[in-house]
Amino acid sequence: MPQFFRINEPDVSAEAFDREVLAIDLKSGHYHSLRESAVPLWRLLTEGRSLEESAARLATALAADPARVHADAAALVAALTARALLVPAPAPATPPPEPGWLAPLGPGYQAPVFDTYTDMKDLLLIDPIHEVDVSGWPHQPATPPSA
């Protein structure tokens, strides 16, 4: 059975760049960096493709061993779901559009890199954009969010 995922919004905010995805867990204050093949895998998954299709497309685009790419993709998804960055989702009603951005990646597979950082936890948890109350900005809430 194909597995589909979505970003765990509103608890997670993520931005995909050319060579990195930055994902912030707004509840825990942890931020995460995804690099190498984790970037196209994240994009494929969050565009509405299954884990299986994402791995197969990436293996084809990068002329890589499909079994290795699938194993790496499954391990990455396990890490992302364990940290609640991605959550299971139903299959999309219509197939996502073709990923035109995938073709220029060219051969050269690198295993996904997924790092977690906690050094800015206290700052992220008192983010004034998300933690404004009747006292206004930039006051820290009377009861800090639970970690």
Per-domain residue ranges for the chain?
A: 4-125
Q: Where are the alpha helices (DSSP H) in the chain?
A: 38-46, 51-61, 66-82, 121-125
Question: Looking at residue 132, what is its pLDDT?
Answer: 47
Give residue 67's identity as a one-letter amino acid code. A
Residue type, 145: P
Which pLDDT score, from 0 to 100, does residue 102 have? 86
The amino acid at 53: E
* Angle 104-105-108 from CA coordinates, rounded to 5°: 140
Q: How far apart are the first and last CA of the chain?
A: 35
Q: Are the CB atoms for 25 and 84 separated by under 8 Å? A: yes
Each residue of 92-145: pLDDT tens digit?
999 999 988 887 777 789 999 999 998 776 555 555 454 445 555 455 555 655
How far apart are alpha carbons 83 and 142 in whole angstroms?
27
pTM of the model: 0.81
Give the per-residue pLDDT at 118. 86
| Residues 25, 11 contacting (CB under 8 angstroms) | yes
* Rounded-to-integer distance, Cα 35 and Cα 42, Å: 10
Question: Which tokens in the block code for residue 34?
Answer: 């995804």
